[in-house]
Homo-oligomer: A and B are copies of this chain.
Amino acid sequence: MNILAELAGYIAGICTAICFLPQTLQTIKSKDVQDLSLASYIIYCTGMICWILYGIYLHSLQMILFNLISLGFAGTILYMIVKYKNAAGKISRQRK
């Protein structure tokens, strides 16, 4: 049970770290952010920063590392949402 639980913990950490890699690649390629929720990514990134701070307090290198990677991907998506939604807004206004 102990090994299985530790394994679950590792898989969970790795999933958290890399879950937004496919979304990052897709959005870099398509530059389409229309269906992505800005609020969700703001909350997610805030959460990741808090997990990193909590990881520093607990001296947990794994917690810091996994959440730092996740913040990297989610932060990139957040940046693209702001960038491309503004760009789309400008195009929309120019057409009017």
Q: Which A residues fall within an 8 A CB radius of B?
A: 1, 5, 8-9, 11-16, 18-23, 26-27, 30, 32-40, 43-44, 46-48, 50-51, 53-54, 57-58
Chain B residues with CB under 8 A of A15: 43-44, 46-48, 50
Query: Contact: B43 with A19, CB < 8 Å?
Result: yes
Query: Contact: B12 with A37, CB < 8 Å?
Result: no
Query: Contact: A40 with B57, CB < 8 Å?
Result: no
Query: How far does the alpha carbon of A65 sit from the alpha carbon of B46 in the complex, in Å?
Result: 19
Chain B residues with CB under 8 A of A40: 19-23, 26
CB distance from A46 to the nearest CB of B (A): 5
CB distance from A60 to the nearest CB of B (A): 11
